[in-house]
Structures are given as C-alpha cells and as structure tokens.
Amino acid sequence: MSHKALVIDDEEDFRLIAEDILKSSGFEVFSSKDGAEGLVSAKKFKPDIILLDWKMPKMDGETFCRKLREDSSLKKTPIIMLTVNSKTEAELEALHFGVDDFIAKPYKKEEFLARVRAVLRQSRSV
C-alpha cells in the first residue's frame, strides 16, 4: 500500500513541486492551499505525513500544528515544515512547535525524499 501525503502550501508552484516529487516516488498526494482547508483534508484522508508551509494567509503553520495536535485521531501524524527562512531560524521554530523535521526551500529532490522517508520510518517505529 502506498503512503498518503498531505501538502499544505499557499503557493501553487510549491504544491506542484512537492506533488510531482512525491507522486513520482509512489505517494498518494493530497494538497490544500491553507491551514483551514488542510485541517479538513487531514480529517478526511488521514495522511501518513503532512508537509506544511509555515507562512500562509488565513491559518499559518503554527496554528495548524496546534489544531492538529488537539485532534486525537490526527495528533500522531508526523509533520515536516517547509520554509524559506534560513536553516537555523527554522530549526528553532520547528523545535518549539513540535514539528518532526524541516526542509528549507528550495530543496533538492533527493534531500526532500530522504527526509520524508526518515520521518515516516521514525513515526512507524514509535
């Protein structure tokens, strides 16, 4: 069975890129353009992993994280944060809000997939 991934990003280009990479590696991909929509999709599709942009209108990454952790059926879903901030800042923020990993945009296909797989492996072993 293929893994389900949810991509939440307000920018269509970045959704496309993530979708392309994930689909070509056999993921089933859903995407949403903001946190509120993403929350609805998450409840509906129960993804194995969420790729979340940090700066978004309506509901930003931080609020999304908090809301997701409140939902008992979803709170274990691993999250990877996608950010255009420099790495160190992103790292600090990510640790603070219980994000599992972060990837700085723009990313290389190989790095992206490696991180996604590592996080999935980790979440399954817990």
Binding site for other proteins (CB under 8 A): 11, 13-14, 16-17, 20-21, 55, 84-88, 105-109
C-alpha angle 82-52-96 in degrees, rounded to nearest 5: 75
CB of 43 to other proteins, least distance (A): 28
Task: Give the separation between CA 30 and CA 118, rounded to whole angstroms.
Answer: 20
CB of 88 to other proteins, least distance (A): 6
Pick between residue 11 and residue 28 the one whose CB is nearest to other proteins: 11
CB of 9 to other proteins, least distance (A): 10
Pick between residue 11 and residue 101 the one whose CB is nearest to other proteins: 11
The torsion angles phi and psi of 101, rounded to 5 degrees, stand at -160, 175
Q: How many residues does the chain have?
A: 126
CB of 103 to other proteins, least distance (A): 11
Cis peptide before 106 (omega within 30 of 0): yes
Pick between residue 14 and residue 27 the one whose CB is nearest to other proteins: 14
Task: Give the separation between CA 92 and CA 107, rounded to whole angstroms.
Answer: 19
